[in-house]
Copies of this chain bind each other. A is one copy, B any other.
Amino acid sequence: MESSRIVPLYQLSFFPSKPDSCRGFASPTRQWKQRTTRTTRLHCQKMYVPGFGEASPEAKAATNLHNFFTYIAVKIVMAQLESYNPEAYVELLEFLDRNSLNDGNKFCANLMRESSRHKALALRILEVRSAYCKNDFEWENLKRLAFKMVNESNTELMRNYVLETSHEEGDK
């Protein structure tokens, strides 16, 4: 079934490419006479991330979030339809069964071309994903959770390793 396919979070190829982790720092600084000594000292402090070509890790993450927002929009519209328009709900469910949601734009493009009723649903999904991205999604919360996750995971991984190895040493 096509809808069971999953989205790659990232490409696993390690192809060489230009550095892209210095965006915002690489733009030419204005050479004000009195600031020359300061601006010429500006250089990128970021780590070099290979393999993103002309794009950036942020662009890659944004593309994945974009598909995620389409998925969320479909869920929101489905939940709304279920209660007051069961026919459209079933139609969308059937369409979901035949079409993968992994590429959000492709999904919407196909939905628009299915029938005039499906087109109305597609336009609604486009509207909802835009509103969700701009108003409902909690960007600060995402950042906070990601920080928390990296701290807690690192601590837990190291703790578990130490616990395991100290047991092994105790057994000897």
Name A residues whose Cβ lies closer than 8 Å to a Cβ of B: 3-4, 6-10, 12, 14, 21, 23-24, 46-51, 56-69, 71-72, 75-76, 78-80, 101-102, 104-105, 108-109, 112-113, 119, 122-123, 126, 128-139, 141-143, 145-147, 149-151, 153-154, 156-158, 160-161, 164
| C-alpha spacing A113/B149, complex, angstroms | 22
Residues of B close to A153: CB separation below 8 A: 66, 104-105
A157 touches B10 (CB 8 A): no
A145 touches B58 (CB 8 A): yes
Knowing A57-B72, A61-B65, A105-B153, say if A47 contacts B132 (CB, 8 Å): yes
| C-alpha spacing A154/B130, complex, angstroms | 8
Known: A47-B131, A50-B79, A139-B139. 10 other contacts (CB 8 A): A4-B12, A6-B8, A7-B8, A21-B136, A57-B68, A60-B68, A61-B142, A126-B154, A130-B151, A133-B147
Knowing A9-B6, A72-B49, say if A66 contacts B161 (CB, 8 Å): no
Residues of B close to A143: CB separation below 8 A: 139
Jot down 12 A-B pairs with beta carbons below 8 A, ordered by A.
A24-B141, A49-B72, A58-B142, A61-B142, A62-B142, A66-B153, A69-B146, A126-B158, A129-B154, A133-B147, A133-B150, A139-B143
